[in-house]
Structure 1
Amino acid sequence: MKILITAFEAFGGDSINPTERLLADIGEEKISGAEIHTLILPVVFDVCADKLLEVVRVLRPDAVICCGLASGRTSITPEQIAINLKEVPKESSVADNKGNRPFDERINPDGPDGLFSLLPVRELVDSMKEQGIPAVISYTAGTFICNNTMYALLDYIRVHQLPMVGGFVHFPASEEMAAAKPSLPSLSHETMLKGLKVMIHTLLL
């Protein structure tokens, strides 16, 4: 199985993004039955999706696992649904890495309001829990870059009727990030990497 795994660069004033380190390590893993490819995406609205789809068109993977940071969460959270919306709330100080702050904009004006993940999210969560890894299904990928990426991927698969599964998984902050913010929930890199490997093995079943 050819699997493309993506992560994001650092954003929001953080000097690190734990998904970058996950990507570096998973790229060196030898997993029987899996051909792993990796890609770092920019934290920029729409450009994130364009970069991903460029690689998808050339690589033609069997599965795509997009990984992102959800600072404040306590578990690894596969996303169940992406919504057709790009929005930074007006009261928020957040922007993407180019300073963009879209509000009430559709990702695809002609696309459905929402698209469900094509990954077996319940099986992924159950498999991680069986290995003692904190995991739970999430029903909101937000309206920022992660949702933008997830929706664009699922919409591309839908429009082109591709024999491909894909979706998004959020990871908590790393212990390294929590060292600078002691009240920030976190998981160790080793636990998150184990979770990612469990998800890959689950897809291979």
Structure 2
Amino acid sequence: MTKTILLTGFEPFAGDTLNSSWEVVRALAGQRIGHEHVVVSELLPCAFDDSLLQLNQLIALHQPEIVVAVGQASGRAAFSIERVAINLKDAAIPDNVWQQPVDQPVMEDGPSAYFSTLPIKAIVARLREHGIPAEVSQSAGTYVCNAVFYGLMHAASNLQRPVRAGFVHIPYLPEQAANRAASPSMAGPIIANGLRLALSVTLSAKQDLKLSGGATH
């Protein structure tokens, strides 16, 4: 019986025509991870409310065993495996439907934070073994990426079945960085391979590694 891994990426925002998260996520659609699991790729709007509504619908539709939401992070040169989602929306720019919440919770009466249930340190270790820059990130920001991460973990915590879930930030693609001075980037095939490795680790690792992934700043 085929089992589902749900991967999500975002539409472009802030006037861009590409979003690296969707370009890579859609390239993985239909690929098999291990013997039983197949990737389903879905596009989320870059909008606070609409993204959470659509995410919940996709989880109900696909009944996935693993959900990884992927977002684009300008200025980051490595895979950033996010550790914690916070219950805060504080947008520096409007989303794609011109909503710009400031100091608002993602969910009223929700907990202050949720932690990823992915084996984040094992993923970082595997990516580095394959020569792919990777790090544990302590913050997914306060924009739509963090809101989706928080909403995902809230949804997963309320399901009657176990679902491993989390969020990964990836760099720009080279074509996005070409006209942005000193912006780091990573080639699409390398990002795609990194995501496949992350999913393979998630399937195989029952517990995370006890390695330091903290930050001093």
Range class of TM-score, shorter chain: over 0.9
**Shift in Å, 1:161:** 4.7
Partner Cα separation in structure 2 for residue 159 and residue 27 of structure 1: 27
In the other structure, the counterpart of 1:23 is 25
Partner Cα separation in structure 2 for residue 159 and residue 107 of structure 1: 16
**Shift in Å, 1:32:** 3.2
In the other structure, the counterpart of 1:65 is 68
Write out per-residue CA displacement over residues 14-55 of structure 1, whole angstroms, 9 at most, x where no aligned residue.
Answer: 110011111221114343322111110000012111101101
Partner Cα separation in structure 1 for residue 156 and residue 127 of structure 2: 26
In the other structure, the counterpart of 1:106 is 105
- What is the TM-score when the length of structure 2 is the normalising length? 0.89
Partner Cα separation in structure 1 for residue 52 and residue 63 of structure 2: 15
Partner Cα separation in structure 1 for residue 30 and residue 59 of structure 2: 21
In the other structure, the counterpart of 2:46 is 43
Query: Where do 1:69-80 residues align within 5 Å?
Result: 69-80=72-83
2:5 counterpart letter in structure 1? I
2:112 counterpart letter in structure 1? D
Q: Which runs of 5 or more structure 1 residues have no equivalent in the other structure?
A: none
Partner Cα separation in structure 2 for residue 108 and residue 152 of structure 1: 8
Aligned alpha-carbon RMSD (Å) = 1.2
In the other structure, the counterpart of 2:127 is 128
2:77 counterpart letter in structure 1? T
In the other structure, the counterpart of 2:90 is 87
Partner Cα separation in structure 2 for residue 37 and residue 142 of structure 1: 26
2:21 counterpart letter in structure 1? T
**Shift in Å, 1:156:** 1.4
Secondary structure of the corresponding residue to residue 112 of structure 1? coil
**Shift in Å, 1:185:** 0.9
Contact 2:10–2:21 (CA under 8 A) maintained in structure 1: yes
Contact 2:30–2:40 (CA under 8 A) maintained in structure 1: no
Change (3 A) 1:161 1:32: closer
Return structure 1 stretches of 4+ with deviation > 4 angstroms: none
- What is the TM-score when the length of structure 1 is the normalising length? 0.94
Identity percentage of aligned residues: 34
**Shift in Å, 1:160:** 3.3
In the other structure, the counterpart of 2:174 is 175
In the other structure, the counterpart of 1:56 is 59
Aligned length: 201
